[in-house]
Amino acid sequence: MSHDEPLRLQFIDRSYGDAMTAVNRACPIGADFTFLFERGHDILTWPDCVYDDYRYAGMFRGDDLRGYFMFGVYRGWDGRQDGRCLYAGDARVHPDERGGRSTERAAVFVQSAIPASVEAGFALVKRGNVPADRVVTEQTTVPWKIYPLCGFEAANVLMLGRVRPPGAPQVRRAEARDLEAMAALFQDTVGRRAFAPRVTAERLARDVALRPDYGLDRHYLAWDGGRLVGCVVAWDMAALHRTVVLRYPPVLQWARRSWPLLQRLRRGVAPLPAPGEAFRALTLTRLAVRDRDPRVLRALLAQVINDHLGEGYHML
C-alpha cells in the first residue's frame, strides 16, 4: 500500500468484515480511559439488528481498506411525520489517513444510494473530534444541509450494590401479552421526539426474535394501579458490541488497586477488567416513562440492577 495511490471509494459488504475489524482496532478512543469498541465475530450484526436498510462505503488505497462510513435507514419521526429517518456515522478512518477529508468524501459518495423517501437524518460528533466537526461546520461538499440539534450524553451507572426501590410502581418482566401496551406507551411518550423509532407490537416481537440476548425477559415494565407507566430493555450487547479497555490513566490506577476491597465490602461487585479485557454492561434502550416521572425511572433501574447484581456486570 502506498500513499501515491489515490483513495478509492466503493460499497462494501460483510465479506470485508475482517478488514473492517482491523481498521476499527486501529482507532482506539481516548476519554477517561483508552478503550476500543469490539463488534463480535461479525461486524455487521449490529446494523442488521437496528436498521431496516444500510450501506457501507469503504475507503481503499489499492486493495487495502483504510476506512469506512455507513448510513442506516429506519422508520421513525422525521419532524413532520412517521417517515424514513437516516443515521449517518459508524465512521472509522485509519490514523495514517486522517486529515484528507476522507469521511466527507465518503458522505458524498453514499448520497446516490440513500432512498429518495428519506428527508431528514442525524449524526453524532464526539466532542473534540476536529475532522468530523469540520465536516459538519464547513459543509463544503457534503450533500446535506446540516444544523446543530442538541448535545448528547451517555451515562454509565456503576453496579456497586443493591438499590432500594421506591416502593411504587411495581416492576416485572414483560410477557408476550404486554406487547401492545408497550408499543402504545412508547408511542405516547416518545414517539414524536426527533428521530424516535416507530415502535409497534410487531416490531417489538421482531426485535425479540432477531436480536441476541434481547428476549422478553430483558424487557422491564413498571405498573401503577394496573396502568403501564414505564418500560425499558436491559440489553446485553456483548455478542455484537463490547467496550475493551486498552489503558487506564494513572489517576484511575488507585481505583483498580482498591477495587478488591470494595468487592469484599459489597457482595456482587464484578472485578474490573484488565487492559485487553472488556467491561460487561447492560445497555438500556427503548426507555419510555409516562409523564417523565423520576419515581418510575428509579423503580426500573433498581429492578434491573438488583436482578443482575452478581452476574459479572459492571455497569448500565
> Across the chain, how many H-helices and E-strands are there?
8, 13
> What stretches of the chain adopt beta strand conformation (E)?
7-12, 29-30, 34-38, 53-61, 64-77, 82-93, 120-122, 170-173, 219-224, 227-235, 242-247, 278-279, 283-289
Amino acid at 169: P
Do you find a cis peptide bond into 169, omega within 30 degrees of 0? yes
CB 284 within 8 A of CB 304: yes
**Quick one: cell of 103?**
469521511
The whole-model pTM stands at: 0.90
Mean pLDDT check: name the lowest of 81-85, 97-101, 242-246, 305-309. Answer: 97-101
The whole-chain average pLDDT of the chain stands at: 90
Instruction: Please state whether beta strands 34-38 and 29-30 pair in parallel, antiparallel, or not at all (unpaired).
Output: antiparallel
The grid cell for 254 is: 488507585
290-300, pLDDT tens digit by residue?
999 999 999 99
Helix (H) or strand (E) holding 172: strand 170-173
Helices (H), 228-293: 250-265
CB 231 within 8 A of CB 286: yes
Confidence of residue 120 (pLDDT cuts 50, 70, 90): very high
- Rounded Cα distance, 314 and 293, in Å: 26
Four-residue CA torsion sign, 200, 201, 202, 208:
positive
Q: How far is CA 2 from CA 5, 46, 62, 96, in A?
A: 6, 32, 8, 11
Reduce the DSSP state of residue 131 to 3 states and report it.
helix
DSSP annotation of 226 reads T
The more confidently predicted of residues 35 and 200 is 200
- Residue 4 pLDDT class (50, 70, 90 cuts): low
Cα dihedral sign for 193, 196, 198, 199?
A: negative
Pairing between strand 120-122 and 82-93? parallel
pLDDT attached to residue 140:
65
Angle, in degrees to the nearest 10, between helices 102-110 and 130-138 = 50
What proportion of the chain, given as a percentage, has pLDDT over 70? 97
Asked whether the predicted pLDDT for residue 104 surpasses 90, the reply is no
Q: Within 10 Å of residue 31's Cβ, how many Cβ atoms?
A: 10
Helix (H, G, I), strand (E, B) or coil at 11: strand
Q: Edge-to-edge strands of the sheet including 227-235?
A: 170-173, 219-224, 227-235, 283-289
Cα–Cα nearest to 300, from 231, 216, 236: 231
Residue-wise pLDDT for 214-228, tens only, equals 999 999 999 999 999
Residue 2 predicted with pLDDT over 80: no
Q: How confident is the model at residue 141 (pLDDT cuts 50, 70, 90)?
A: low
How far is Cα of residue 128 from the mean position of the Cα atoms in its chain? 19
